[in-house]
């Protein structure tokens, strides 16, 4: 594996011969140990940049100091560009006396194009802009989904922003605000897509751009869009507002391809890995090696479609499921996003307006009722799903729950009226 590169000038291990930075390198014996091994080394990358500018010379020094003392030395602050209140992660060094050139080392969060698509010319242009004003170091991408332009002084953040903003890029969110959204590759390249992820992503986030650039919400609010229940964007666990593509008619089965699959993989393989793995026992392999699907009991988990990519596909009556309130530990413990809309079509302008309006209602209700530093899912945990639904004007649906309540301590004064409401909604279809 540790082959000698054929062309050392065009290789992940390349080190410039010429040193343009004027400051002497710090000794980095610990970081040096991360330069060996087959995976491309970020340390080698940082060293290349340190040949170019003094900021990265001292950044490497501070990082080595962290590796030695096993502590971090950055503190936050307030930095933004003219007109905005967020979008930049300010970092001031606590050990600036030892490493003065990287004493200000801010990150600009910039929203990538939906689906993270780039041309090489756009990647080069972004890299050139950042080399001009910042350290040169870019992370593709941060955990919220931003392009992270890491390492610029306070004074230079504005110039860099002005330049990339003039060719179509905008800052993302940082702080208590609507955050940068994420969407999967989806309809652009995936047959399992049930939605126009590009459109949903941009309609949602670009309609709340004021709530992104001027942080004034209780805490962060994230939109994520996945085209199918494989949920490649981790939206149920990580998004306050998760949109996941699904379908409500029958899944498509190409029986000839089913037969081909059985022939190539064996009956045992299909029984063990497809039929037996269906969570609702909705599949049956027939004696002639065709497949019967109980579509009424299929929960659209995607497993069989993932295994038999040629034979099985989502249906034609596509739409989305919306789940609200996913987040990790802080502060009450983990919460999954839970269903508030089992299915909605997203085809016409009115459909898209409906989902935008629902997002606006949710953000407004949460902004009014959420406590400081309380995520939307935590608020729902505190006030109960029913109060949340009444607040945003949605009716209850059995798809919202795993099972009905088990605790008998509940007042049911208005049972008849509520039952009547349900009957009327059922009658209205």
Site for another protein in 5-24 (CB under 8 A): 5-7, 10-14
Residue 36 binds another protein (CB under 8 A): yes
Find the binding residues for another protein in span 147-166 (CB under 8 A): 148, 150, 161-162, 165-166
Q: Report the length, in residues, of the chain.
A: 429
Query: Could you tell me how many residues of this chain bind another protein (CB under 8 A)?
Result: 139
- Which of residues 345, 373, 421, 425 is near another protein by CB under 8 A? 373
Per residue, what are the HEC states of 374-404? CCHHHHHHHHCHHHHHHHHCCCCCHHHCCCC
- Which of residues 27, 33, 347, 353 is near another protein by CB under 8 A? 33
Nearer to another protein, 308 or 392 (CB): 308
Nearer to another protein, 46 or 362 (CB): 46
Residue 30 binds another protein (CB under 8 A): yes
Which tokens is 327 given? 């987040």
* Candidate segments 223-231, 289-297, 348-356, 359-367, binder of another protein by CB under 8 A: 223-231
The span from the CA of 161 to the CA of 132, in Å, is 12
Biggest CA–CA distance in the chain, Å, is 83
- Which of residues 61, 86, 136, 218 is near another protein by CB under 8 A? 136
Nearer to another protein, 205 or 358 (CB): 205
Taking the complex as a whole, how short is the minimal distance between the CB of residue 389 and another protein, in angstroms? Answer: 21
* Candidate segments 300-308, 343-351, 362-370, 391-399, binder of another protein by CB under 8 A: 300-308
The span from the CA of 23 to the CA of 14, in Å, is 21
Q: Are 52 and 45 in contact (CB under 8 A)?
A: no
* DSSP 8-state symbol, 7: S
Residue 40 binds another protein (CB under 8 A): yes
Residue 317 binds another protein (CB under 8 A): no
Find the binding residues for another protein in span 388-427 (CB under 8 A): none
Residue 247 binds another protein (CB under 8 A): no
Nearer to another protein, 307 or 383 (CB): 307
Nearer to another protein, 166 or 424 (CB): 166
The span from the CA of 240 to the CA of 366, in Å, is 11
Residue 328 binds another protein (CB under 8 A): yes
Residue 259 binds another protein (CB under 8 A): no
Contacts of 170 (CB under 8 A, 6+ apart): 110, 111, 209
Nearer to another protein, 137 or 392 (CB): 137
Kindly list the distances between the CA atom of residue 70 and the CA atoms of 64, 66, 67, 257, in Å, as whole numbers in the listed order: 9, 5, 5, 56
The span from the CA of 242 to the CA of 221, in Å, is 11
Nearer to another protein, 148 or 358 (CB): 148
The span from the CA of 185 to the CA of 342, in Å, is 23
Residue 115 binds another protein (CB under 8 A): yes
- Which of residues 23, 48, 248, 382 is near another protein by CB under 8 A? 48
Residue 100 binds another protein (CB under 8 A): no
Contacts of 33 (CB under 8 A, 6+ apart): none
- Which of residues 81, 177, 270, 339 is near another protein by CB under 8 A? 81
Q: Are 31 and 60 in contact (CB under 8 A)?
A: yes
Taking the complex as a whole, how short is the minimal distance between the CB of residue 361 and another protein, in angstroms? Answer: 20
- Residue closest to 180 by CA, chosen among 241, 109, 284: 109
Residue 256 binds another protein (CB under 8 A): no
Q: Are 204 and 356 in contact (CB under 8 A)?
A: yes
Phi, psi (degrees; rounded to nearest 5) at 344: -145, 145
Taking the complex as a whole, how short is the minimal distance between the CB of residue 365 and another protein, in angstroms? Answer: 21
- Which of residues 19, 20, 27, 42 is near another protein by CB under 8 A? 42
Per residue, what are the HEC states of 219-263? CCECEEEECCCCCCCCHHHHCCEEEEEEECCCCEECHHHHHHHHH
Nearer to another protein, 118 or 352 (CB): 118
């Amino acid at each position: 594996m540790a082959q000698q590169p054929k062309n050392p000038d065009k290789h992940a291990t390349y080190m410039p011969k010429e040193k343009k930075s004027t400051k002497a390198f710090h000794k980095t014996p610990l970081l040096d140990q991360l330069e060996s091994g087959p995976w491309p080394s970020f340390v080698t990358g940082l060293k290349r940049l340190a040949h170019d500018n003094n900021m990265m010379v001292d950044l490497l020094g501070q990082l080595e100091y962290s590796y030695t003392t096993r502590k971090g030395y950055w503190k936050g602050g307030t930095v933004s560009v003219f007109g905005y209140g967020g979008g930049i992660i300010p970092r001031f060094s606590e050990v600036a006396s030892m490493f003065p050139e990287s004493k200000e080392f801010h990150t600009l969060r910039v929203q990538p194009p939906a689906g993270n698509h780039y041309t090489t010319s756009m990647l080069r242009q972004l890299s050139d802009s950042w080399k001009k004003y910042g350290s040169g170091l870019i992370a593709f991408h941060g955990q919220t989904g931003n392009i992270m332009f890491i390492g610029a002084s306070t004074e230079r953040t504005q110039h860099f922003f002005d330049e990339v903003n003039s060719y179509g890029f905008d800052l993302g969110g940082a702080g208590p605000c609507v955050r940068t959204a994420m969407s999967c590759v989806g309809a652009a390249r995936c047959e399992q897509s049930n939605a126009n992820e590009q459109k949903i992503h941009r309609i949602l986030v670009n309609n709340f751009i004021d709530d992104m650039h001027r942080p004034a919400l209780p805490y962060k609010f994230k939109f994520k869009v996945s085209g199918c229940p494989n949920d490649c964007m981790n939206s149920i666990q990580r998004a306050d507002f998760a949109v996941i593509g699904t379908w409500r008619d029958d899944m498509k089965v190409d029986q000839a391809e089913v037969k081909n699959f059985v022939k190539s993989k064996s009956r045992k393989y299909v029984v063990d890995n497809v039929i037996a793995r269906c969570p609702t026992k909705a599949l049956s392999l027939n004696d002639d090696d065709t497949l019967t699907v109980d579509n009424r009991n299929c929960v659209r988990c995607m497993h069989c479609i993932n295994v038999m990519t040629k034979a099985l596909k989502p249906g034609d009556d596509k739409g989305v499921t919306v789940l609200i309130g996913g987040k990790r530990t802080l502060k009450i413990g983990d919460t999954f996003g839970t269903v508030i809309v089992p299915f909605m079509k997203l085809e016409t302008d009115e459909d898209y307006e409906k989902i935008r309006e629902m997002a606006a209602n949710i953000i407004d209700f949460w902004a009014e009722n959420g406590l400081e530093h309380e995520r939307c899912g935590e608020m729902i945990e505190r006030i109960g799903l029913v109060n949340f639904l009444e607040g945003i004007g949605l009716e209850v649906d059995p798809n919202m729950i795993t099972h009905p309540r088990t605790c008998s301590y509940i007042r049911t004064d208005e049972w008849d009226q509520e039952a009547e409401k349900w009957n009327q909604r059922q009658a209205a279809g």
